[in-house]
Structure 1
């Protein structure tokens, strides 16, 4: 799976929420200042070339839809982060959040409960 730029990820977030849409629909969902139509159209074409989007054509206008689900993208991205920055160690990842992001004891307890629940399933 090819890496996405920050702007490409932003467009994918919109399309995951919309499930499908034309360039104008995507632009409407983006924060101000709105990017130019041609900029968004170019990024969407690039996302299609990378295999993230598909389209249906309606008289020269394209309606885009995601080919890669948000969860699949998240899993791929998190595996890369885990490998690149945390030596494939979930413990290192969680220690980072506990230390650098000031994860509270309550949040850690909730995490332990989630892990216990998943292991019992």
Structure 2
């Protein structure tokens, strides 16, 4: 598989909606975006950029297009996490986990759930 490109904040916001909807028309994506809403043409342009980057494909219905995710949310999540892990934590999950603990982003119940997952996956 080819290397995934990084999404801009605006592109990621559009992808989040397309993933949630499992595809849709520009108008439907626009309706789901928070206020202040961007212009229709802005959303349309962003979706076409996403298509060029290989994240989105479309189905034609006359002159309109329904856009569908081509890259799954889980696939992109793995890409972003791998990039975060290698770029900021020297490929050390321990360092990344320590960071979240030290920044008070995790509590004891979160850590307990992680330990349960580790034990489950060791079997």
Does the TM-score normalized on the shorter chain lie above 0.5?
Answer: yes
2:21 matches 1:24: no
Rounded to whole Å, the distance in 2 between the matches of 1:82 and 1:54 is 29
2:17 matches 1:2: no
CA shift at 1:102, angstroms?
Answer: 4.3
Where in structure 1 are there 5+ consecutive unaligned residues? none
After superposition, give the CA deviation of every residue in 1:74-116 in whole Å (9 maximum; x if it has no partner): 0011000000000000000000000013422222122111111
Once the two structures are superposed, the pairs formed by residues 53-68 of structure 1 within 5 Å of their partners are 53-68=56-71
Task: Name the residue aligned to 1:75.
Answer: 78
Give the TM-score taking structure 1 as reference length: 0.95
Indicate the RMSD between aligned Cα atoms, in angstroms: 0.9
Aligned counterpart in structure 1 of residue 49 of structure 2, from 39, 46, 51 = 46
Task: Name the residue aligned to 1:96.
Answer: 99
After superposition, give the CA deviation of every residue in 1:4-44 in whole Å (9 maximum; x if it has no partner): 00110110010001111000000111111111000000000
Aligned counterpart in structure 1 of residue 110 of structure 2, from 107, 111, 118 = 107
Instruction: Count matched residues.
Output: 120
- Residues 28, 92 of structure 1: CA spacing in aligned structure 2 closer, same or farther, 3 A cutoff? same
Rounded to whole Å, the distance in 1 between the matches of 2:105 and 2:40 is 41
Q: Which runs of 4+ in 1 moved over 6 A?
A: none
